A and B are shown apart, each in its own frame.
Chain A
Amino acid sequence: MKTAACVAAGGAIGTLARYAVALVLGAPESGAFPSATFTANAAGCLLIGLLGGLLANRPLPEALREFLSTGFLGGFTTLSAFGVETVRLAADGYAAMAFAYAAASAAAGLVAASAGYALAKAVFRNAREDAA
């Protein structure tokens, strides 16, 4: 119950943060690269990788873990906007941009999630060994 409330709160904050990114970067003009969704998704993937690397060394309470991962980062990133933006680009005749956006999003997300995990795992393992 507590965890569910934390997920809802994290989701509300994460979704607001994505909306803020969209307000700052602006809605993409027709045919332009959807930079707001791309930025939120890539940054969210880096952060979830870092969180995973931290958790590999140091467990956090379930409610906090779910607030951050399922809640905040789940709400901050979005597959639905990515999918619809890609389809709109293709439907408006910008097939190359649609392909570039889809490929860049997938590649950036996977690299960010993997690199974040490796980095945080190494940093927190060293910190733990230094403390020991």
Chain B
Amino acid sequence: MIAFLLVALGGGAGALLRYAVQRAFAERTGYARAGTLLVNLAGTFALGLLLGLPLTADSRAAQLLAGTGFLGGLTTFSTVMAQLAELLRAKRWRTAAGYGLGTFVCALLLAAAGYAAGRCIFV
């Protein structure tokens, strides 16, 4: 039961932060996409770091709250795909390719960097 509470709390907070960053970018630059990219990349690096850390007896709750909940709620897959589909419908091929490849390639690199960094800590 406590697990569901931790996941919901983290997820709500993560989604709220994503919304705030997207709005701030949309208002200042006109591109909500840039905000989506920023939270997605930061969240993916952070999850790599978290899951790279050695497991302890207490880490299950922390993983649920911070990992599955907060970072899972902070990052989004559906918004990226909706944005990409919209760019493709508008025939903005180069922007779509740049945003899509940028999101996926950078996310994988940052997940790897975070994971490697997590494993270097405390060992």
Contacts and interface: CB of A to CB of B under 8 A. Distances in A.
Partners in one complex: yes
Interface of A: 3-4, 7-16, 18-19, 22, 41, 44-45, 47-49, 52, 66, 69-71, 73-84, 86-88, 90-91, 102, 105-106, 109-110, 112-114, 117
Interface of B: 3-4, 7-16, 18-20, 22, 40, 43-44, 46-48, 51, 64, 68-69, 71-82, 84-86, 88-89, 100, 103-104, 107-108, 110-112, 114-115
Contact of B19 (A70, A73, A79, A88): A70
- Interface residues of A: mostly helix, strand, loop or mixed? helix
A12 B85 contact: no
Given A15-B8, A78-B77, A110-B84, A83 B19 contact: no
A48 B78 contact: yes
21 contacts: A11-B13, A11-B15, A12-B73, A15-B14, A15-B73, A18-B68, A45-B82, A48-B78, A73-B76, A74-B78, A75-B15, A75-B76, A77-B76, A78-B72, A80-B40, A80-B74, A86-B111, A87-B112, A87-B115, A109-B78, A110-B88
A41 B81 CA distance: 10
- Interface residues of B: mostly helix, strand, loop or mixed? helix
